[in-house]
Structure 1
């Protein structure tokens, strides 16, 4: 059995990570009735003997003693990490997994990437190595961070480059939270553009998530649950924004939004944690969905968003779930995929779904989805037998679709408006090692990325400068 390590950087990264560990424990408790440390738990948790000073780990098959998350928590402000250490999840982490400071990065990418990245480099590497050494077969690092703040964008991408440097053979999947246009951090366009260059260079896959999409989904579910119409009552424990039944009690601001991202991570890791008739290896995501090295941004969508409480109301057809996965209402970014090009797509299904249902729906949907001519069969599929708590089945779609360029173009426009005025630049240029050239290089990198997507659209799937490097896993 393989293991993965979750690396949480910055306030947002640690808040999302907290929700992931809470809901993951809830899922495993729902399935693991005997209290045994099984292979499913070992993929993301260690089982240690807390009575021994060295925290000796137990092998698979014994009783659950003391679960420790395979995680590294990094933040240059102590607030969120201290909340975690004082909350219900406190026993899951120890000092060897934590790296904090007190002053924060001041919403400045350069401070996070250069100042703290240099000051804490050795400690970060040492903490990552310790986490890796606890794994028998390390398969993947999951990095969670935001793009708008200083620590998440700056130190988060520094950690990403260190992961590539220290563990070049281990897959790096990054979940990046992109700020909305109404973000209250005025420098978020700078931070996001500077971080984008690092993501393009050092990640194997990036799962972009827009804050505005999370807000829209939360509003949609809450509106549905308060509409009062017959047959519209939602089972509270089945809504993806709900943490009910987990360890965390009172709901905090952004919990509902963070739960959506946590559910994304629960679904993408489901095949690594549970058995299924069609297993999808995490390495196969990058192997099969990224035909061009730089174009590794995968658009995620989740369905269903909820289940109705009234069992007398006919449940939505299984086919509808597959159709919803390709609509922008269920995407975690706002871009419209219908008029853009698909390079590849993964469907990760959980619960009571048959292989025949999966294949039938792919054949049904294929004619309406504009795939590149050289990858008409560019589908990767996984079937996990264990559904999310509160649902009979669920689907996560990861689409390598050129529609993501619209998100990047909007971000570039917001950056350009600030940069033309030279607004707040002095805060960055005062940081040792930071030069104005970093902005020019980051903007050039993003523009080049956008041009590659535009070229694919114009040529129906060909890049003049690069040939597809499809590596289909057998």
Structure 2
């Protein structure tokens, strides 16, 4: 059984990560009611004898007198300690190893250079050692998941510094990045700088990037809010979806979540991203008739090393852990997943070119249903001429809690150009006036050349996608050679 480590960076990354671990525990609790530590749990959790100081080679036996607890395979990093401190005071505090936390107090001031150059140098050795310790508890480490935002200083700066460390020290372990991009109306004026500076590392060092736009999350939350029935008092109706019959002293605990009670402004948005991670990793955590290994995602969806930005879409959409919505019809679920309203990126893939697409289905679904829906939908989707059958399908037997089935699609589609071009335009608008540049160049190790190199990297990425889109309609056109480095 393979294992994965989640590295949560910055306020956004840690909040999403906290939601992911809560939801993951709920899924395992719903399936594994006796709380036995099995291969499914071992993919993202360690089984710890809490009487000792986390000794290596921990036995999974259940002898009398042993006190077992689960520890998430997670590293929490933030240069402001507020969010991590809140997590360690909350209901999930026992799930995290206190030695896997790295915090400071002053923050990065929404400055990529402070995060990447200053704090990267200051905490680089500690981050490397903390990740190494987490890796040593893995029998077969397959993947790192990096969760961070692009607009702030810690998420963009320290997040990409962590990515650099992973690329240098674990070159054979897959690096999946979930990056939340700021909206055009973001209140951080320097967010275009931070995002473009960070994208250079994402393009060069990541194996797969799932770009998620804040505005898309806002739109989805609003859409769901209108769909949930309300009482006469205007309060939303919640229905518990997890049984309380979990054995009290088991390795799994039915942890009471915070979302349905004291929901915070970004909890609903973070929960959507956490559900994306939950569905993407379902095959690594549960059995299925056609499980998709994480390495198969990059193998099938990334035909060129730099073009590894995947557009994610989910159906059904729900934000609260305890909302029990009526199930969608199966065919409607497939239709929804290919509509722009269900995408986590503000773009329309139907008018752009598909390089490849994956369907990750969970629940009581037959392969014949998946094939039928592929045949029904593919005539309306434009695939590149050399990969007309570029579909990767996966089927995990375990559905999300409270749903009969779900679908996650991840598509390598040229529509990401639109989002990247909008980001570039916002960057250029600031950079032409040299606005706020001095805040960056005053940091040791940061030069103006970092701005130009990052802009050039983004331009090259956009042009590579554009070249593919331009020649899609006619395979006989002499396509310019893509400038793609390994």
TM-score interval, normalised by the smaller of the two chains = over 0.9
Matching residue within 206, 210, 214 for 1:211: 214
Q: 1:54 to 1:324 in 2, by over 3 A?
A: closer
8 Å CA contact 2:230–2:237 kept in 1: the answer is no
Cross-structure match for 2:105: 102
CA distance in 1, matches of 2:325, 2:182: 37
Match status 1:464 vs 2:480: yes
CA distance in 2, matches of 1:92, 1:213: 31
Matching residue within 181, 188, 192 for 1:189: 192
CA distance in 2, matches of 1:260, 1:236: 18
Match status 1:21 vs 2:21: yes
- 1:55 CA displacement: 4.4
Match status 1:282 vs 2:294: yes
SS state at 1:48 partner: strand
Q: 1:422 to 1:403 in 2, by over 3 A?
A: same
1:315-326 mapped onto 2 (5 Å cutoff)? 315-326=327-338
CA distance in 1, matches of 2:10, 2:386: 40
- 1:224 CA displacement: 1.5
Match status 1:297 vs 2:297: no
Q: Deviations over 1:2-53 (max 9, x none)?
A: 0000000011100100110111111111111111001111000001000113
SS state at 2:168 partner: helix
RMSD between aligned residues: 2.2
CA distance in 2, matches of 1:185, 1:309: 36
Cross-structure match for 1:241: none
CA distance in 2, matches of 1:457, 1:342: 9
CA distance in 2, matches of 1:227, 1:250: 18
Cross-structure match for 2:246: none
1:315-394 mapped onto 2 (5 Å cutoff)? 315-394=327-406
- 1:174 CA displacement: 0.2
Cross-structure match for 1:453: 465
- 1:468 CA displacement: 10
1:127-166 mapped onto 2 (5 Å cutoff)? 127-166=130-169
CA distance in 1, matches of 2:257, 2:45: 16
Q: Deviations over 1:121-145 (max 9, x none)?
A: 1111101111110000001000000
- 1:464 CA displacement: 2.5
Q: Which runs of 5+ in 1 are unaligned?
A: 239-243, 470-474
- 1:65 CA displacement: 1.4
Match status 1:75 vs 2:78: yes
Match status 1:84 vs 2:96: no
Match status 1:47 vs 2:47: yes
- 1:466 CA displacement: 3.6
- 1:317 CA displacement: 2.2
Cross-structure match for 1:116: 119
Deviates more, 1:358-367 or 1:167-176: 358-367
CA distance in 2, matches of 1:27, 1:67: 14
Q: 1:69 to 1:458 in 2, by over 3 A?
A: same
- 1:366 CA displacement: 1.3
SS state at 1:450 partner: helix
SS state at 1:433 partner: coil
8 Å CA contact 2:10–2:149 kept in 1: the answer is yes
Cross-structure match for 1:472: none
Q: 1:246 to 1:215 in 2, by over 3 A?
A: farther
Q: How many residues align?
A: 458
SS state at 1:386 partner: coil
Q: 1:228 to 1:234 in 2, by over 3 A?
A: closer
TM-score scaled by length of structure 1: 0.92
TM-score scaled by length of structure 2: 0.90
